[in-house]
Amino acid sequence: MSPNGLFDLSGKTAAIIGGGSGIGEAVAIGAAKQGAGVVVLDANQAAAQSVAARIAGADAARLDVRDGAAVNAVLDGVARDHGRIDIVICTPGINVRKPILQYTGDDFDRVVAVNLKGSFNVLQAAGRVMTAQRGGSIVLFSSIRAQVVEPGQSVYAMTKVGIVQLVRAGAAEFGPFNVRVNAMAPGVVETPLTAPIKANEAWYAAYASKSALQRWARAEEMVGPTLFLVSDAASYVTGTVLFADGGWTAVDGRFTPPGM
């Protein structure tokens, strides 16, 4: 057995979508450390190339998940160039924080296009490649907002629970072809997406207090759970949602009753 054991990704090709920043960047670097051949894909081509330059042997390309034809073409190209795709991880997501009564049609379309349609495009394209090669693992990114919500998170939360159902359907349909499909559900993570919250001291502290660990996560802390799902350590795990939220969804408030 290799030094990495069940978590070894040597000889596997991993396409990391959203790999130009945040969680995707951390996962791309982490997958390479576990031996995977990494392809960094991002809507920001310069960012993808910058991350790939830090990973020996990595490739990079631009990919906008909203464009289904482009997703198909890029993943087909990765499979052609590398012989197969063993791992596809899709991290991109956006949020427009507004009350329901203030949401516009454009706001709605923008969030759904990236989070839900984009995830579907990736699941469909990766599933087509992997069912044909009869093997592979796909991870889409959901969120704690698939389970708990707050004012201003209606459409974002809707897309994140939709991703959970996409994952379950993908697992059911692709399972006979030895293709696993799972979802990661982070809590609050320090990334470009959450930078506006971090900039507000009171808001940042309020979110930190919601978790059992009383802090935000670093992007690097999403690497282990994500790579677990695509590794042989999770060979019998499919159709599930892995919460990496510091206990946010387990803790019902932070008040400690007197005498406790």
Q: What are the residues whose beta carbons fall under 8 Å from the beta carbon of 78, sequence distance 6 or more?
A: 13, 15, 39, 59, 85
Residue 257 backbone phi and psi in degrees, to 5: -60, 150
Q: What are the residues whose beta carbons fall under 8 Å from the beta carbon of 130, sequence distance 6 or more?
A: 85, 88, 136, 138, 174, 177, 179
Contact (Cβ atoms closer than 8 angstroms) between residue 247 and residue 211: yes
State which H helix or E strand residue 31 sits in: helix 22-33
> One of 103, 156, 204, 236 is an active-site residue; which one?
156
User: Residue 180, exposed/middle/buried by CB under 10 A (0-12, 13-18, 19+)?
Assistant: buried
User: Residue 167, exposed/middle/buried by CB under 10 A (0-12, 13-18, 19+)?
Assistant: buried
Q: Name beta bridge partners: 60.
A: 40
156 is catalytic: yes
CA 244 vs CA 9, 37, 254: distances in Å: 21, 25, 19
Q: Which positions are catalytic?
A: 156
